[in-house]
Amino acid sequence: MRKISGNTVIVTISISLLLFLIQWLIRVDSYFLSDPLVKMIQTISLWKQGWSTESIIYPAKEIDPDFLFSPFNEGFVFLNNNRFIGQYPIALTFLYSLFGFLPFSILPYFNILFLFVFLRLLTKNSIQIPTLVIVTLGTVVFPLLIDFSENGPFILLSGYGYIYLWKAYLTDQKQDWLLGNLFLGISLWFRLEGVLFFLSIQITIGLIQVFIKKEPILKKLHPVRFLVFAAILSLFLLWNTYSYSHPLGTRHLTNFGNSDKTFYDQMKIFLSMVFTYPRSNGWSFGFFLQSPIFIYAILKLRKVQITTNLNLLFHLLIVPIYLLIAGLTSPNDGITLTGRYLVVTVFPLSFILNEQMNELRKNKWILYPIYVWMFLFSFLIIAIFYFSSIELKKLRTELKTFQSPLIVTTNELISGGFGLDLIDKKVICVRRENLLDYFEKNLQRTLPKEFTILTIGKESNKNQAEKNLFTSLLVRSEKSGYNCSREERTARILGKTCIKSNE
């Protein structure tokens, strides 16, 4: 561990401030859509209910007692033990709910602190400035810290766990084993990849000891190497079994629903995470597609360099072992930033790149195009965040036009567009034809005085089914004794207000 230079401190602060600037431009204090929205709603719900229940506050429960009309994406929420909960870990919800005395809109800016400590962790372990910039701005790390998620604490905890287990591998000090176990053990409460990462590190250490150092494995297999992690993992499994009736908890219950995946399906997931894979709506952003410099650094390693440098060998072996385990076990590829499942590999890859940086600089004609490619990729991802935030702001402005006490939508984009207002506002999403009978039944049971049905205003071939659903909702409402003649339009939303007829 070396003394940190003044230039390194300046770079660390500058990168942290850059994240703040991008968050401010994107307005992450209001950028709540899809999974970040569910995560924040979970956090607010836990705070407002005094940690008495994990159930999400749902103002429209009266008209939707079976939770079939959730305004959120169906893949992110589900009913469990009579609770309406999200698939995201209780550790995330609990951690941020402790700061409920602050405005919830500022919580996403906490990622600046996680990024700053992440940078300090790398610099304290001799990572040079060029490597630091590449690892932060040229990988999936930076975009993962833009919006509200569990990625910040997970990356930091897994990083500290990796560093301490690396030191334990070098020195066999009890304190390092315990701290590495502790940090990686806590990390798995945020993301299950913590288990895979710990397993990869332990397999790597075992392989080096048995096949390189020729040491008996049983002699080195001391409980201090895994006991703390095993205890935390056991507690995690017991908590999930008690709370959700499954040892792997909410992540498993939602992500592993498709149990009939073939080997070919799993290979597509693996390729999507590592590089890319074509989809009907575009190509995915795999980890090494965004950051090919790591592959270049590994290819430039010399055989002598690997066999004589067991420190470097440690970092190198972990990467393929983790890729293999993650590729075989991941339930999906993350859909958008697919490389996020591999984010923990930035730690061993940082040390490999740092070791090879002087060698890579000898061929600038290859290195500089890679730099341009990586930073263009990061710029593209940030641009997607920025323009989607603009569209979300426009949608929210239009939705303010509709002030009905109950809002009925035909898709989750509209219902989710209400953002954090969903904590107080009655919004339901009738997303399929097979929910119409349930809607009509509960409408006749509750008889609200007024409600507004919202759908996409522009009609096209792609949304014809949604238009038919909108028409069916109007017909069912009028059949139940409502007058739905009043119409309101905005640039992209069509609304029909239904008022109870006085008969």
> Which are the contacts of 313, defined by CB distance < 8 A and separation ≥ 6?
208, 212, 306, 307
pLDDT the model gives residue 58: 95
- Looking at residue 61, the DSSP 8-state letter turns out to be G
Res. 1 pLDDT band, cuts 50 70 90: very low
Average pLDDT rounded to a whole number, residues 72-82:
86
Please write the tens of the pLDDT for every residue from 120-167. Answer: 999 999 999 999 999 999 999 999 999 999 999 999 999 999 999 999
Cα distances (angstroms) measured from residue 298 to each of 131, 165, 305, 310, 340: 14, 22, 11, 15, 20
8 Å CB contact between 369 and 375: no
Q: Are strands 426-429 and 77-80 parallel, antiparallel or unpaired?
A: unpaired
8 Å CB contact between 495 and 402: yes
Res. 269 pLDDT band, cuts 50 70 90: confident
328 has a pLDDT exceeding 70? yes
Q: Are strands 278-279 and 83-86 parallel, antiparallel or unpaired?
A: unpaired
What are the residue ranges spanned by the domains of the chain? 62-99+400-503, 150-384
Average pLDDT rounded to a whole number, residues 72-101:
88
109 has a pLDDT exceeding 60? yes
Predicted TM-score (pTM) of this structure: 0.93
> Which are the contacts of 485, defined by CB distance < 8 A and separation ≥ 6?
496
**Residue ranges of the alpha helices (H) in 172-302?**
174-187, 193-207, 217-220, 227-244, 249-255, 263-274, 287-290, 293-299
Please write the tens of the pLDDT for every residue from 278-325. Answer: 776 667 788 999 999 999 999 999 877 887 889 999 999 999 999 999
Which range is least confidently modeled, 4-18, 196-210, 321-335? 321-335
Angle in degrees, CA 326, 136, 353, rounded to 5: 75
The token pair that represents 277 in the structure block? 């894979």
204 has a pLDDT exceeding 60? yes
Please write the tens of the pLDDT for every residue from 397-436. Answer: 999 999 899 999 999 999 999 999 999 999 999 999 999 9
> Which are the contacts of 191, defined by CB distance < 8 A and separation ≥ 6?
89, 150, 151, 154
Please write the tens of the pLDDT for every residue from 239-265. Answer: 999 998 888 888 777 776 555 678 888
Mean pLDDT of the chain: 91
